[in-house]
Chains A and B, each alone.
Chain A
Amino acid sequence: MSLLIPQAGDIPLPDPGPISAPYWQGCREGVLRYQRCLDCGAPTHTPALMCAACASMSLEWVDSSGRGEIYSWTRVWRPVTPAFITPYVPIIVTLEEGWSILSNLVGCEDDSVAIGQLVEVEFHHSGGPDDIWLPYFHPRSP
C-alpha cells in the first residue's frame, strides 16, 4: 500500500500545439477546459478542429467542473520508463459534462481505487519549456 502522488521525475511532458494551446493555458490557470460544439452542443476531447458528433468546425472552449467519476483504471508496477515512480494508477475519468479524459489518480492509497469512485481535478506544476501544469484527479465526496 502506498500513497499515490503526482510524478516528480523527468517524465515526458506535453508539447502543446496550436489546437491544444487553450487546453494547456487553462491548466496553467487552474481550469480544466474542453471543447463544445456551437451547433449541436456535444463535448469533444482530445482537442480537435471538428466536432466528434456532427463534424461541425464551430467549436468553443468552455470550463469543465473538473468533477467526474472513474470509468476504468489500471495500476502500473512496471514503469514505462525509469523516470516514473511505481505504483501509479492511470484512469479514465468521465467528466460531469459527458466527456472522457485519461489521467492519473492521486491523493489516496493505491489499493483503494474503484470504478465509479467520484474524483475531482487538481493541477501540478511539471514545468519544462512550455511551463506545463498537468491535470491529475483525486477522490472526492458526493
Chain B
Amino acid sequence: MGHPFRDVAIVGVFNTKQARVLEGYDSQSIALEAALGAIADAGLEPRDVDGVVGGIASNFLYQSRIGPAWRSMSPLGIPAVIEGAMAIACGLANTVLIATGEAGSYRQHASTAPWTRPTNEFVAAYGMFTAAEFALMARRHMHMYGTTPESMAHVAATIRNNGHVNPQAVYSGRGPFTADDVLNSRMVADPFHLLDCAMTSEGGTALVLTHADRAGDLAKAPVHLLGGGTDHYGPSYQHPPVWDLGGVRRPDLIAGHVGRRAAEEAFASAGLGPSDVDVCEFYDPFSFELIRQFEAYGFCAEGEGGDYVMSGVIEPGGRHPITTDGGTMSFSHGGASVQLFQRVIRGVQQLRGECVSSQVANAEVAMCTGGGAGALFTDVLLLGKDRP
C-alpha cells in the first residue's frame, strides 16, 4: 500500500491582514477574504472547490453556490487539514477549502479572551485561564528538571524577534527583544511573564488542498503531507492539567509528553526523524511549550529541553529554527481557531521559499504543530516538497 496522502497536495495558502483590531470586519467577512485569497493563490476559481472544512467555510459553501459539496465541521487546525486530506485520499472530494477567521469578538480587554476561559464547574471559580493552565504544566517541569525562566525567555525572545523582522506580523518592528526584556515584563501567571505569552489579535486564514494529479498544473509548487497525527486526552481546561496524567492503554504516554505519539506516527509514515526537520513551525501559546515539544517529539531527551533551546538550534540559521513568522506571540493569534492553522500556512510558505522574512534556505521538511500540554492536546503535521 502506498502512502495514505500520496494523492494529496496543499496548493493554496493565504493569510489576510492580521491586526489587534480589524476595523470593519467580522469573522465571516475576514474568513471569506481568506478563502478567496487561498483559492487565488492556488490559481483556482471558487467553482473548483467541491469540499469545505469548518463552520465558516460552510458559509462560503452557500455564498459561492458551489454546493452540493463534501463538508466537515472540524474547526481546529491540523486535525481539519488531515480530515480534508483524507477526504481527497478517499475520493470524497477533489479540492477542499479550509477557511476560518476571527474579528470583533474580543475588543474589551478587562477580562482575558473568551476562548481562554471556558466555563466549567471545577475550574472557573479558581480563576483559571490558559496561562494558568499551561503554567501548572511548566512549573511541574521546572520542579522535575530544573528548567529555568531564562530558557523560556530565550524561546520567547527568539520567536518575538522573528515577528519583529516580519512586515506581516501584528507586532512587526516591536523589537528586537532580549531574554532580559522577557524576564523584565510583568508577571501574568508565574513562571510566565507577559512576553512569554501569546497575544490576542484578529485575522483570517485559509488553505486549499487538491488531488496531486492536478497539483502540477496550478500556480505554485505543491506541498505534500508526509505524515500527521493528533494526540488528545479530552476536553481542554475542564480537568486538572496534571503532567503525569496517563491512560489505561499507554500509561507511558503522559499528558506532559502529549504529541509524542502523534509525532512518532508522523515520522514513521514519512520515513523521517527529528534530525530531518529543517523548519520547526511549532505552536507557541507559551514559551515553555517549545521546550516541551522538543522533548515530546524526540529532538532531545526528557528534561533536556531547556538546555536544548539554549544550544543555538532554534534561532534563524540554527539547525531547527522555530516559529519563523513570529507565531502567536508576534505574528497573530486570531481567536479560537485561526492561529491553529497558521503553523501549517507558514510551513507551506517555507517549503515554497516565499517567506518575506526568516526564510530557511533550501527547506525540504517542515514540522507544524498545534495545541499544547495545558490544553491536553497536541497535533503534528509533517510537510515536504516531494510527493510521498
Partner-B contacts on A (CB < 8 A) = 7, 11-17, 20, 46, 53-54, 71-82, 84, 88, 90, 92, 100-104, 115, 126, 132, 134
Contact = CB atoms under 8 A, between A and B. Distances in A.
B213 interface: no
A13 B125 contact: yes
A20 B241 CA distance: 20
B127 A16 contact: no
A31 to B, nearest CB: 17
B317 interface: no
Given A53-B248, A72-B243, A80-B112, A14 B132 contact: no
Given A7-B127, A73-B136, A80-B129, A92 B112 contact: no
8 contacts: A12-B124, A14-B122, A74-B131, A74-B189, A76-B189, A78-B112, A80-B112, A100-B242
Counting chain B residues whose Cβ lies within 8 A of the other chain, the interface size class is 35 or more
A17 B120 CA distance: 11
Nearest to B119: A12
Contacts of A90: 126-128, 132, 136
A132 B121 CA distance: 11
Contact of A82 (B110, B128, B132, B136): B110
A19 B139 CA distance: 31
Contacts of A13: 124-125
Task: Please report whether the interface of chain B is mostly helix, strand, loop or mixed according to DSSP.
Answer: loop
Interface of B: 110-112, 116-117, 119, 121-129, 131-132, 135-137, 139-140, 143, 186-192, 194, 238-243, 248
A72 B188 contact: no
B136 A92 contact: yes
Task: Please report whether the interface of chain A is mostly helix, strand, loop or mixed according to DSSP.
Answer: loop
Nearest to B136: A72
Nearest to B117: A80
Given A14-B121, A104-B126, A72 B139 contact: yes
Which interface residue of B119, B191, B248 has the most chain A CB atoms within 10 A? Answer: B248
A72 B137 contact: yes
Contact of B128 (A15, A46, A71, A102): A102
Contact of B242 (A82, A84, A92, A103): A92
Nearest to A54: B248
B127 A76 contact: yes
A78 B189 contact: yes
Given A72-B139, A74-B139, A92-B136, A80 B238 contact: no
Given A90-B127, A101-B240, A115 B189 contact: no
Which interface residue of B135, B137, B243 has the most chain A CB atoms within 10 A? Answer: B135
A5 to B, nearest CB: 13
A102 B239 CA distance: 8
B353 to A, nearest CB: 40
Contacts of A75: 187, 189-190
Contacts of B187: 75, 77
A74 B190 contact: yes
A105 to B, nearest CB: 10
Contact of A76 (B132, B238, B248): B132
